[in-house]
Amino acid sequence: MAQTFKEIIQSEKPVLVDFFATWCGPCKMMTPILQELKSKMGDSISIIKIDVDKNQAAAQSLGVQGVPALFIFQKGEIKWQQAGVVSASVLQQILKPLTLTS
């Protein structure tokens, strides 16, 4: 059974949420960055991608204005957010301390 967005972000481990659109150029740049991040951090984090055109309610509830919009959740709380492309090394620096708390 698929988890809902609210269930996923309640996780003890950090969840990186990438709000994207298929027509967005910078969003396409995030895919290899997120793959690199996942290969570096493995199971210590979760990464989910949400298409804003298919999930407008989730995007609106978080006030997403532009894409890509990145959020890091832990136990249902927003720990960090930023719009635009962010490098894997920057994301890793933000996520590392969050993985040590679990």
Residues marked active site are found at 24, 27
H helix or E strand, kind and range, residue 72: strand 69-74
Q: In whole angstroms, what is the distance from residue 37 CA to residue 40 CA? A: 5
- Classify residue 3 by its DSSP letter: P
Spatial strand order in the sheet of 69-74:
46-51, 15-20, 69-74, 77-83
Q: In whole angstroms, what is the distance from residue 61 CA to residue 13 CA? A: 22
